[in-house]
Structure 1
Amino acid sequence: MRLFYSLAFLALYITPCYAAQLALIIDDIGYRHTDEAVLTLPSTVTLSVLPHTPLSKQLAKAGHAKGHEIMLHLPMEALNGKALGPGGLTSTMNEAQIRTKVLDAIASVPFAKGMNNHMGSLLTQLDEPMHWVMESLKQKQLYFVDSMTTQFSRARDKAELLSVPTLKRQLFLDNNLSKSALEKQFNLMVEQAHIQGNLVAIAHPHPETIRFLRDNLARLKAEGIELVPTSKLLPIDLVHREPTNPTVRLK
């Protein structure tokens, strides 16, 4: 018995004490076979998958099997008029159309626990469409992360109004893919995580980004930062819920 308590005490003593937590979301996943490289990242990295894309179901299932948290990366209309791709939401859609599109998109990405917007600098500013989106997410018990593609987004306000667990993106890691720029943003990510206590960052499945992350994510532990699934930062803990498997940047 004395040995048991000694070992328990030792385990507590050597457990890392983290000063901050970081949720890192890789989104824009689903079109390219090179996107499969995201599966080489630590399982605590969250994968956000575009709906109705050639690899959406395959990569969502493979990511889930490797322990990654899966999100839906839902296209929304942007101010620059950029093409949305399949499943996208526009300001010309009525309530029924938006609800149907959201539910169809959720069904196309198995094991999704949450959603963040792809593009959306126009649509996220609009009250009614965001209300319909959040009601649909609440119906399916998904959380929402605002990608913050515009400072005027109304999405989080609508999520909070409907008690949909919500977070916002605080840093983009890879707007510039040069190694020096990635290093600069990585250091800023570490700094901001320490200042705020927790941080949500978004990156993309560019080969340059994936290589950089494979080489550098281990530095987080030495910095006292714990890399966690996105849902762990939510004000309401949904980690216990196992989702059902369904039968730029002006973003």
Structure 2
Amino acid sequence: MANRRDAEPSPLRAGAVHTGLSLLVFGGIAGALGAAIILMGDPSEASPKQTLALFDTHDSAAPPLKTRLKTNIATASLAIETPDYSDADGSGDLPDFGPDLGVESPDDMLVAAADAAPVGEGDADTAGVRINGKLVKPGESYGDVTSIVSLDRAPIAGMTERLNGMTLPRISPDGRAPADAYARPFINPGNKPVVAIVVGGLGINATHTKSAIDELPPEVTLSFAPDATSLQTWINRARAAGHEVLIETPMEAYDYGRMKMHPLTLLASENEARNQARLERILSRSTGYFGLINSQGSKIGDDDAAMKPVLKAVSDRGLAFIDDGSLDAGNMQQLSGEAGLRYVRADSAIDAKLSAEDISSEFMELESQALEHGAALGAGYAFPITIEMVKTWTASLEQKGIVLAPASALAAKSAKAENPADDTVRTGSLEPAPVNPHG
């Protein structure tokens, strides 16, 4: 008969038993400690207690008003209900109680609606707020301190002709040239140094184009790409805002890199008739421009045989030519003189490097050029940083003794090389352009 063998204990069962015993022991100890605290504890030794309420049971203090609306509580209702709608010049404009639109104001000039100082009191040189670089003093409106005039809508009668099914600019029968008729009027009675800025590449990006038209001072000249969508609409809008305009003319460069050449590019290797036809197609795209500005062109600019007919055609139509700085200065000065062309060359490409530091450096160079030689011209493109920095910089020119001028004011009509060494700056168009002062 075999001996009986006891079965080995189960690990699972042993673990469960041990766990139960542990919980029982530690639970008993914790319960005993809790009971001892309740029975033997001293309430006076407990930490402070705090009661939290879901709702306030008393009236809270009135919240402080914003600084620009700071007023006396006792007169607040009167200040809001009975505002003073009169102003110093009797224009009857209502005060603006709307939201803050980004107008800059010195901290010490924050004025309360109820306790504002009467018009005429305080420092007349510093009182007011600055809007888009213009100081608006108490009793003045923004329109009172700006000189924006809308230029007449193009085309002006007598300034165009029909040729080969195209509408092209021309000198009118009474002798007016588009370079005069479509230029922004400019006067400089104090004979101060002047700077001009051309912002180009417009009409391609609607957002940037709108920003340039609406935000830049009207003295800034705007140039548009010839194949821009709704080109004439943009030009009309720019002129309505007071900007004179240029048309960008693609010209052959030595190296295009990966860029595709524009189909209407004026070529050094092309014959005169072909380039003439391309130029006329560019000119026919719109109207209302006072001149052309080159888009590249270093190669054709070095070829006198190709460039002379182009400049002669531009001059014969009474247009000006603005060199963005990429053409040979000496050669272009000579050729424009021979053609009797209104010509000026940019002294600086303001945004060749797209950084605030580099653009500021170019602005300083333009200021130095203007102070030393009487005038300076800068050219750039409608990048957001360029638009913003041009807007800020131009607002500072007046206090530096420099006048912002349209580019047409620097485009002097060249004599036929009577004195090529004469670099005297001539500012102002030959005749004032017609304007709509109520525009």
Could you say which TM-score interval applies, normalised by the shorter chain? 0.7 to 0.9
Could you say which residue in structure 1 is the equivalent of 2:314? Answer: 137
- The two structures have a TM-score, normalised by structure 1, of 0.83
Cα distance between partner residues in 2 of 1:31 and 1:90: 24
Could you say which residue in structure 1 is the equivalent of 2:212? Answer: 38
Q: CA deviation at 1:41?
A: 0.6
Could you list the per-position Cα deviations for residues 33-82 of structure 1 after superposition, in whole angstroms to 9, with x for gaps in the alignment?
22221102111001111212224323222111111111111110111134
Could you say which residue in structure 2 is the equivalent of 1:222? Answer: 399
Q: Which has the higher helix share?
A: 1
Q: Given that residues 22 and 225 in structure 1 are in contact (C-alpha distance below 8 angstroms), is that contact kept between their aligned partners in structure 2?
A: yes
Could you list the per-position Cα deviations for residues 151-199 of structure 1 after superposition, in whole angstroms to 9, with x for gaps in the alignment?
3673332221010111111111111121111211112211111111001
Instruction: Give the secondary structure class of the aligned counterpart of 2:236.
Output: helix
Query: Is the alpha carbon distance of 1:150 and 1:163 closer, same or farther for their aligned partners in structure 2, counting shifts above 3 Å?
Result: closer
Could you say which residue in structure 2 is the equivalent of 1:240? Answer: 432
Cα distance between partner residues in 1 of 2:377 and 2:279: 23
Instruction: Report the aligned-residue RMSD.
Output: 2.1
Q: Given that residues 18 and 225 in structure 1 are in contact (C-alpha distance below 8 angstroms), is that contact kept between their aligned partners in structure 2?
A: no
Q: Given that residues 106 and 112 in structure 1 are in contact (C-alpha distance below 8 angstroms), is that contact kept between their aligned partners in structure 2?
A: no
Could you list the per-position Cα deviations for residues 114-168 of structure 1 after superposition, in whole angstroms to 9, with x for gaps in the alignment?
1111111111111122111112112210011222314367333222101011111
Structure 2 residue 332 is the aligned partner of structure 1 residue 177: no
Q: Given that residues 30 and 54 in structure 1 are in contact (C-alpha distance below 8 angstroms), is that contact kept between their aligned partners in structure 2?
A: yes
Q: CA deviation at 1:215?
A: 2.1
Cα distance between partner residues in 1 of 2:286 and 2:265: 14
Could you list the per-position Cα deviations for residues 65-123 of structure 1 after superposition, in whole angstroms to 9, with x for gaps in the alignment?
11111111111011113433253212232111111111221221321111111111111
Q: Given that residues 26 and 48 in structure 1 are in contact (C-alpha distance below 8 angstroms), is that contact kept between their aligned partners in structure 2?
A: yes
Q: Given that residues 31 and 55 in structure 1 are in contact (C-alpha distance below 8 angstroms), is that contact kept between their aligned partners in structure 2?
A: no
Instruction: Give the secondary structure class of the aligned counterpart of 2:260.
Output: coil
Q: Which runs of 5+ in 2 are unaligned?
A: 1-187, 414-428, 435-439
Query: Is the alpha carbon distance of 1:153 and 1:84 closer, same or farther for their aligned partners in structure 2, counting shifts above 3 Å?
Result: farther
Instruction: Give the secondary structure class of the aligned counterpart of 2:284.
Output: helix
Query: Is the alpha carbon distance of 1:16 and 1:93 closer, same or farther for their aligned partners in structure 2, counting shifts above 3 Å?
Result: closer
Q: Given that residues 115 and 145 in structure 1 are in contact (C-alpha distance below 8 angstroms), is that contact kept between their aligned partners in structure 2?
A: yes
AA matched with 2:396:
R
- Larger RCO: Structure 1 or Structure 2 (Cα < 8 Å, ≥ 6 residues apart)? 1
Q: Given that residues 249 and 282 in structure 2 are in contact (C-alpha distance below 8 angstroms), is that contact kept between their aligned partners in structure 1?
A: yes
Q: Given that residues 380 and 386 in structure 2 are in contact (C-alpha distance below 8 angstroms), is that contact kept between their aligned partners in structure 1?
A: yes
Q: Show the 5 A alignment for 1:95-244.
A: 95-151=272-328, 154-236=331-413, 237-240=429-432
Q: Given that residues 130 and 154 in structure 1 are in contact (C-alpha distance below 8 angstroms), is that contact kept between their aligned partners in structure 2?
A: no
Cα distance between partner residues in 1 of 2:430 and 2:223: 17
Instruction: Give the secondary structure class of the aligned counterpart of 1:167.
Output: strand
Instruction: Give the secondary structure class of the aligned counterpart of 1:213.
Output: helix
- The two structures have a TM-score, normalised by structure 2, of 0.49
The size of the alignment, in residue pairs, is 228
Cα distance between partner residues in 2 of 1:239 and 1:41: 25
Q: Given that residues 291 and 322 in structure 2 are in contact (C-alpha distance below 8 angstroms), is that contact kept between their aligned partners in structure 1?
A: yes
Q: CA deviation at 1:219?
A: 0.6
Q: CA deviation at 1:220?
A: 0.8
Could you say which residue in structure 2 is the equivalent of 1:71? Answer: 246
User: Aligned residues: percent identity?
Assistant: 23
Q: Which runs of 5+ in 1 are unaligned?
A: 1-14, 243-251
Query: Is the alpha carbon distance of 1:67 and 1:239 closer, same or farther for their aligned partners in structure 2, counting shifts above 3 Å?
Result: farther
Could you say which residue in structure 2 is the equivalent of 1:58? Answer: 233
Instruction: Give the secondary structure class of the aligned counterpart of 1:25.
Output: strand
